[in-house]
Chain A
């Protein structure tokens, strides 16, 4: 019996490792759900470059989290299985090279070029190459790939993630060069862009666009709820062969997983995710907490854990933070709400405090709850107000709306804001409440320690 226990304990740990790897997206799922046609297209595009030295270009377009990268990953895996080892470090000359670029990290063409050279394992003094034009340097790099005695350059597959960001580089010389080489057939290269932007073609310059093959492959989110659930099932199931767990344990584990997935609360919530966003990553995140609990003691997925993480997911983070602010802070929030209802779209601390004071002086006689309704002095209220600003429940309003484009967020204190506003003392900086009046009412009703007067005030 004890040996039996320890074996399945180790199994549980292995299962935990395998399942978590898949949930975090660190390991691929055993199969792709409903992505067969894009997979075939991508694979044929890449393999034709490798086998028949064609120059190919294509774009893989689809919403976030629908499996674009997974498709490419799998296609590359299939290619590797078919054509053998790709690692250029191996002694024999490699059949083909893979270069991966991402718009997130390769923010300029220069950085991208240097990284291309690095990925192709060119150990030359790059500084000299980079002096010339981009195209010159690039062809130079490609020519270096030509191993001694051979005429042809081995095929190179370029995978460009976040293609739309790469297209925003000035002059688009990276894309132009890549597309130009692919089109001119000198060197067999395949360029596969991956993007979530459906209007990505509009970002390309005319000269770049005319060199692109206009082959667009669309990837879609799962169309059927069944497929969506299937993704979770694939991630959570363990396989005795690939995950290294005992046959019996795997069977037991998988039945348990099916039970959890079939449970009414879980099924309903998965349906909700499907209806709202179809994001597979959000779906998988749901099971992380339960998978983390797996250990020698807890060998199977626990329904209670999944339900707990559903409950955490449902709760609004903002409301959670606000659910236990002090009474003074709550009163200030209610003051702001009544200012909003009075028609002001922005307001400063003085107005809020004035609202608070007016209310309190009107109701101080009514409430006799013994000290519960003390009117706090202005500096004390300002400190409470600044706590709200720090939590970004209250945000300073920039007087000019022009600064909205560049994705800048600004600092979260009262001293932020435009130069004009910065000249005013902080009590007079205009702010806005970042929650809806309805949410304020909800917030007050959820609390037990709020005096009846304030409760009524919030509901007005």
Chain B
């Protein structure tokens, strides 16, 4: 038992308290098992890996615990059959024609099969565990399932069964409305502290690199990123991506390992790029490796900037035809501008800014904005739906030259809807009076406007 504990503790630094509590709950195989253990904590805190490793080491035969991911087992039937297979040591394969241990549609069948299984194998005194990962999904599976699982020992007539739930949601959100289940024993996995993150990442240190040097780097990465991200997985990813760039100058004899500040400065542009593009997965790992390898600080410092610019540049994925871009722009305007101002903005031959000034409507607009603190601006509320005719009117107004009659505008609208750039809000079978919403963000529409040299900001009402 103690060797098991030691192995787990060295494998998972910073989780000592949780591992010790779990092990003391498990105890000996013959001990009564707790009816339910609830393991919770934010993502990337080691819940699943600790539990899985712990059970695979604790129960070497593997037939006393069933690990079930409730995303995978999305019906109760799958859940039950998977559990029975694991407890019976039954593996669906070609010999048994991929059949399950037993067919199990509802709880009664499950409870009865479990009872028979445990009695027939003579293991009814040994604790059996059902580990359910992402347990928050169980709540969607009918109101009774969770309660019944919590009461399994009672329902099976005192079988030594235990349910371990893993979730990143607190128990308060699980508690059944009718109160049929007692609160389980809960074990909390908190975020790793800085010290613990360093301990975990020390295991990632490449074998040919000095560990203190690596850890200083990890420390720096943590300091840069911890204000927006304390997720261990994200930090690990960033470290793995940035470290090669960080040590590159050492191998290119630009700096030595002692000149930490200089190395850090050389790596600075990569940090900036990583904090957004890499962190948001706008560029993939392989893309990052490919583009960042192009440049190094040695051959040309400017290349670093250009290569990152290169990474930043390929975001302009929306390569639409010229008129379609205008259609999308007019859809955006129709979604975000109030229709009462259409005449001011889009009446031909008038400059909208002049018109607005002359009208003096600014004062009243400002007053209403103050009253509501500017919080009900359309920009914040999101797109509203508009009639397709209004969008077409705006389209013919904003487009400078007369439209070529061969352009089939309706087809373009249909294709924009297919691309999900527009969402149809009217009923699917209605052919006239179609209403749509524009699904594009302000940044994207600005980029599109720039590409067709259209000053969209002059036409937007109450935007910041």
Asked whether, in the complex, the Cβ of B24 is within 8 Å of the Cβ of A354, the reply is: no
Asked whether, in the complex, the Cβ of A318 is within 8 Å of the Cβ of B172, the reply is: yes
Q: Which of B42, B172, B182 contacts A279 (CB 8 A)?
A: B182
Bound CA span A339–B373, Å: 11
CB B7 to nearest CB in A, in angstroms, measures 19
Asked whether, in the complex, the Cβ of A285 is within 8 Å of the Cβ of B425, the reply is: no
Q: Is A140 among interface residues, defined by CB-CB distance under 8 A?
A: no
Q: Is B229 among interface residues, defined by CB-CB distance under 8 A?
A: yes
Bound CA span A250–B371, Å: 74
Q: A25-B35, A26-B32, A409-B139 are in contact. Are A104 and B107 (CB under 8 A)?
A: yes
List B contacts of A407 (CB < 8 A): 143, 176-177
Q: Is A20 among interface residues, defined by CB-CB distance under 8 A?
A: yes
Stretch touching chain A among B185-193, B251-259, B355-363 = B185-193
Render B250-275 as a binary contact track against A, CB cut-off 8 A, 1 for contact. 00000000000000000000000001
Q: A317-B186, A328-B228, A379-B280 are in contact. Are A428 and B154 (CB under 8 A)?
A: no
Closest Cβ neighbor of A293 among chain B residues: B24
CB A444 to nearest CB in B, in angstroms, measures 15
Q: Is B340 among interface residues, defined by CB-CB distance under 8 A?
A: no
List A contacts of B40 (CB < 8 A): 317, 321
Asked whether, in the complex, the Cβ of B143 is within 8 Å of the Cβ of A326, the reply is: no
Bound CA span A392–B168, Å: 9
Bound CA span A183–B437, Å: 66
Render A183-206 as a binary contact track against B, CB cut-off 8 A, 1 for contact. 000000000000010000000000
List A contacts of B423 (CB < 8 A): 423
Q: Is B158 among interface residues, defined by CB-CB distance under 8 A?
A: yes
For the side of the interface on B, what is the size category?
A: 35 or more
Within 8 A of A (CB), among B136-194: 136, 139-140, 143-144, 147-148, 151, 153-155, 158, 160, 168-173, 176-180, 182-183, 185-186, 188, 190-191, 193
Closest Cβ neighbor of B143 among chain A residues: A407
Asked whether, in the complex, the Cβ of A105 is within 8 Å of the Cβ of B182, the reply is: no
CB B412 to nearest CB in A, in angstroms, measures 21
Bound CA span A387–B437, Å: 27
List A contacts of B139 (CB < 8 A): 409
CB B367 to nearest CB in A, in angstroms, measures 18
Asked whether, in the complex, the Cβ of A16 is within 8 Å of the Cβ of B31, the reply is: yes
Bound CA span A102–B153, Å: 13
List B contacts of A342 (CB < 8 A): 373, 375
List A contacts of B439 (CB < 8 A): 425
CB A175 to nearest CB in B, in angstroms, measures 18
Asked whether, in the complex, the Cβ of B106 is within 8 Å of the Cβ of A111, the reply is: yes
Q: Which of A21, A115, A285, A289 contacts B32 (CB 8 A)?
A: A21
CB A130 to nearest CB in B, in angstroms, measures 14
Q: Is B237 among interface residues, defined by CB-CB distance under 8 A?
A: no
Closest Cβ neighbor of B373 among chain A residues: A342
Closest Cβ neighbor of A285 among chain B residues: B185
Q: Is B97 among interface residues, defined by CB-CB distance under 8 A?
A: no
Asked whether, in the complex, the Cβ of A285 is within 8 Å of the Cβ of B182, the reply is: yes
Q: Is B34 among interface residues, defined by CB-CB distance under 8 A?
A: yes
Q: Is B4 among interface residues, defined by CB-CB distance under 8 A?
A: no
List A contacts of B180 (CB < 8 A): 64, 104, 162, 196
Asked whether, in the complex, the Cβ of A16 is within 8 Å of the Cβ of B27, the reply is: yes
Closest Cβ neighbor of B151 among chain A residues: A104
Stretch touching chain A among B239-247, B290-298, B379-387, B402-410 = B379-387
Bound CA span A162–B180, Å: 9
Bound CA span A234–B218, Å: 54
Within 8 A of B (CB), among A203-257: none
Bound CA span A211–B188, Å: 51
Asked whether, in the complex, the Cβ of B228 is within 8 Å of the Cβ of A285, the reply is: no
Asked whether, in the complex, the Cβ of A376 is within 8 Å of the Cβ of B144, the reply is: no
Q: Which of B31, B34, B140, B186 contacts A408 (CB 8 A)?
A: B140
Given contacts A318-B172, A407-B177, 15 further A-B contacts (CB under 8 A): A17-B32, A24-B33, A26-B153, A64-B180, A317-B186, A320-B190, A324-B193, A326-B228, A339-B375, A348-B380, A350-B381, A380-B228, A390-B43, A408-B140, A428-B381
The 4 closest A-B pairs by CB, nearest first: A428-B382, A281-B182, A407-B143, A328-B228
Residues of B within 8 A of A (CB): 21, 24-25, 27-28, 30-35, 40-43, 106-108, 111-112, 136, 139-140, 143-144, 147-148, 151, 153-155, 158, 160, 168-173, 176-180, 182-183, 185-186, 188, 190-191, 193, 226-231, 275-276, 279-280, 373, 375, 379-383, 423, 425, 437, 439, 441
